[in-house]
Amino acid sequence: MISRKSALVIGVLALATAYTGYWFYARTLALQVIDNWTEQRRAEGYTVSYDGPDISGFPLLVRAELENPRLEREAFAWRGERLQVEMQPWNFRRIRIDLNGKQWVTPTARAAQMVLVPAEAAVVANLSATGRLADAALLVRDLTLSDPAGSSLLQAAEVWLEATAPVEPPKSDQDASLALSLSAADILLPKDVDGPLGRTLSKLRADLQVRGDVPSGSPAKALEAWRRGGGTVDVDWFQVNWGELDLRAKGTIALDAEARPLGAFSTNIRGHNHALDALVAHAVLEPGAATMAKIGLALLAKSPPEGGAPVLTLPVTAQDGHLYAGPLKILDLDPIRLPAPR
C-alpha cells in the first residue's frame, strides 16, 4: 500500500512532468508566433531577418532571443544588436519585448541614419481575443540618440509611450482609431540648439486621439487617405517645460488640402516674462521691445486662484500654411510629405 507521503511525491512528480510537457508545447507555439509574425510582415512588403531564435525561460517564461534583428520597408530601416521576446506559457496575449543594446534607425528617405543607445528599452503589448493589438506601452530609460559619427542629437532620462486601439475599427471620421500618450523627462537637445531657453526640456507630455480610419499600406498613402477621409487629431493635453517657460495646450489638428497643419488650440503660458528676459540676454530681442511686450502681456495675463505665476491665455491657430498666436503670425508651416514607395 502506498503511503500518503509517497502518493504526494508521485503526484508532484506527475504534475511537474505534465507541466514540463506543456512548457515545451508552449515553446513550440512561441516559435509559431514568431514565424507567423515574420511571414505577415514579409507579406506586407517588409524585409525581416534575424539569427535564432534561441528559446529559454523554463519554467515560468518562454523567452526567445534573436540576434541581429533587421526590419526594412521602402525608405524605413531598423536593425539592432539583439531582441528578446518573453511570454508566459499560460498567457500568449501579453508579450514583452526587450530592445536593449545599440540600434540603428533610418526613418525616412530624407533622414540620415540615427543610432539609439538606451540603458533600458522595453515594449509590453496586449492582444485581443482576435489577435489584434489592443494596447502597447514603450518605456525607455537613459536614451542617447546620435548620428553615425557619434555626435549627440538628443538625450532623455526617460521616455514613456502608450498606444491603445479600439476593439472595433472606426466607422466614421468621428470615431477614434488610436489613442496615444507620450511623456518624457529631462530631454537634452543638441549643442547647436542652445537657444535663449537653454538645451533642457524638463518635461514633455502629450495625450492624443487619432480620429478616422488609418488604412494599411505605405505611410504616404495612409496619411493621404486619412486626410481625404476627414481624419483629425484631438490634442487632449500638451505640456512642455523649457527653462522657466511652462506651456500647456488643448485643441484639434488636421491637414488641409495641401497637407499643411490646420487646427486651433487654447494655450496657457507661465513664465513668459522669464522667456522675454532670456530673449534679451541672447540679443534676440531689444530691451525696449521686451519691456513693451511685458506691459501688453500683463494686461492679458491673470493670476490663478491657487496663487503662483500669472497665466497668459492665448488662442493658437494653424491655417493657410501659417501658425498664429492670437493675431500675430509667428511661423510658416510646410506641407507634411512622407516618402512614397520606391
DSSP state of 302: B
Do the domain assignments include residue 342?
no
Residue 156 above 90 pLDDT?
Answer: yes
Other C-beta atoms closer than 10 Å to the C-beta of 87 total 20
Total domains in the fold of the chain: 1
Interaxial angle between packed helices 272-281 and 287-300, expressed in degrees from 0 to 180 and rounded to the nearest 10: 170
pLDDT confidence tier of residue 163, bands split at 50, 70 and 90: very high
Q: What is the pLDDT of residues 274-331, one digit of tens each?
A: 888 888 888 777 888 888 878 887 888 888 888 777 889 989 999 999 988 888 787 7
pLDDT > 70: percent of the chain: 97
Q: How confident is the model at residue 1 (pLDDT cuts 50, 70, 90)?
A: low
Q: Give backbone dihedrals phi and psi of 21, rounded to 5 degrees, phi first.
A: -65, -40
Instruction: Check residue 339 and give its pLDDT.
Output: 62
* pLDDT band, very low/low/confident/very high, at 177 (cuts 50, 70, 90): confident
Task: Report the pLDDT averaged over residues 76-99.
Answer: 92
CA 161, CA 104: separation in Å to the nearest integer?
Answer: 19
Residue 170, domain member (yes or no): yes
Q: Is residue 26 part of a domain?
A: yes
Q: What percent of the chain has pLDDT over 90?
A: 50
119 burial type by CB count under 10 A (0-12 exposed, 13-18 middle, 19+ buried)? exposed
Burial of 99 (0-12, 13-18, 19+ CB in 10 A): buried
pLDDT at residue 208 tops 60: yes
Mean pLDDT of 18-43: 90
pLDDT of 123: 95
Report yes or no on 65 lying in a domain: yes
| Overall average pLDDT of the 198-214 stretch | 93
- Say if residue 85's pLDDT is above 90: yes
Of 7-11, 199-203, 253-257, minimum mean pLDDT range = 7-11
| Most confident region among 55-59, 73-77, 106-110, 131-135 by mean pLDDT | 55-59
Is the pLDDT assigned to residue 71 strictly greater than 90?
yes
The grid cell for 249 is 495646450
- The half-sphere exposure of 133 on its side-chain side, counting CA atoms within 13 A, is 15
Nearest C-alpha neighbor of 102 from the set 119, 80, 127, 120: 80
CA angle 33, 217, 220 (to 5 degrees): 135
Window from 42-56, 81-95, 326-340 with minimum mean pLDDT: 326-340
Confidence at residue 252, expressed as pLDDT on a 0 to 100 scale? 97
Long-range contacts of 192-196 (CB under 8 A, 24+ apart): 195/282, 196/243, 196/275, 196/278, 196/279, 196/281, 196/282, 196/284
For residue 47, tell me if it sits in a domain.
yes
Helix (H, G, I), strand (E, B) or coil at 6: helix
Average pLDDT of every residue of the chain: 88
Return the DSSP state at 311.
Answer: B
* Residue 172 counted as domain residue: yes
User: What pLDDT does residue 2 have?
Assistant: 67
Domain assignment present for 320: no
Give the structural domain span for 117. 4-243
What pLDDT is attached to residue 341?
A: 53
Give the span between the Cα atoms of 187 and 326, in whole angstroms: 29
Inter-residue contact 63 to 86 (CB < 8 Å): yes
330 located within any domain: no
Nearest of 84, 80, 137, 85 to residue 114 by alpha carbon: 80
Task: Record the pTM.
Answer: 0.84
